[in-house]
Amino acid sequence: MRQLATESSRFNASFASFSILDNDEKTRSFLTLEIGAGHEELNTLSTALNPLLRELRQPSYYIQARYHASIGWILTTEEAGPRFSKQLVQRLDSLYGERLRALILEVEEVHVKIGKQVSKYQLGAP
């Protein structure tokens, strides 16, 4: 990871929209802010980790990755239970979408969490 971070440049990113994502097991639903600008750079970083993940016998990241920040979550079940509504997403977008999309995030480091340990790597730093 350190070598990948060193070889990668810092970049700008921004959020594109509010959305709802479910985990693979359908036990949690997340209210998220999806990345627009910066998606390609994040995809390049995560794709470059695939050989290491294979070596560690871990699954690779999603092929159709949706990079995001989670701002809320609820417990769900596959058939029923509470859900974030599409109306909530539309309302949030109408109230805050313009300001959200105007934010520019300067991505300067990557944080990697394995178990409880979090490691930080500066992008483009020797």
What pTM was computed for the model?
0.86
In the predicted structure, residue 80 carries a pLDDT above the cut 80: no
The string of pLDDT tens digits covering residues 26-71 is: 889 999 999 999 999 999 999 998 888 888 888 888 888 999 999 9
Q: Which pLDDT value is given to residue 79?
A: 67
Long-range contacts made by residues 92-98, C-beta under 8 angstroms, separation at least 24?
Answer: 92/18, 93/17, 93/18, 96/18, 97/17, 97/18
Q: Which pLDDT value is given to residue 115?
A: 82
Backbone angles phi, psi at 109, to 5 degrees: -150, 160
DSSP string, 61-118: PPTT---EEEEEEEE--SSSS----HHHHHHHHHHHHHHHHH--EEE-EEEEEETTEE
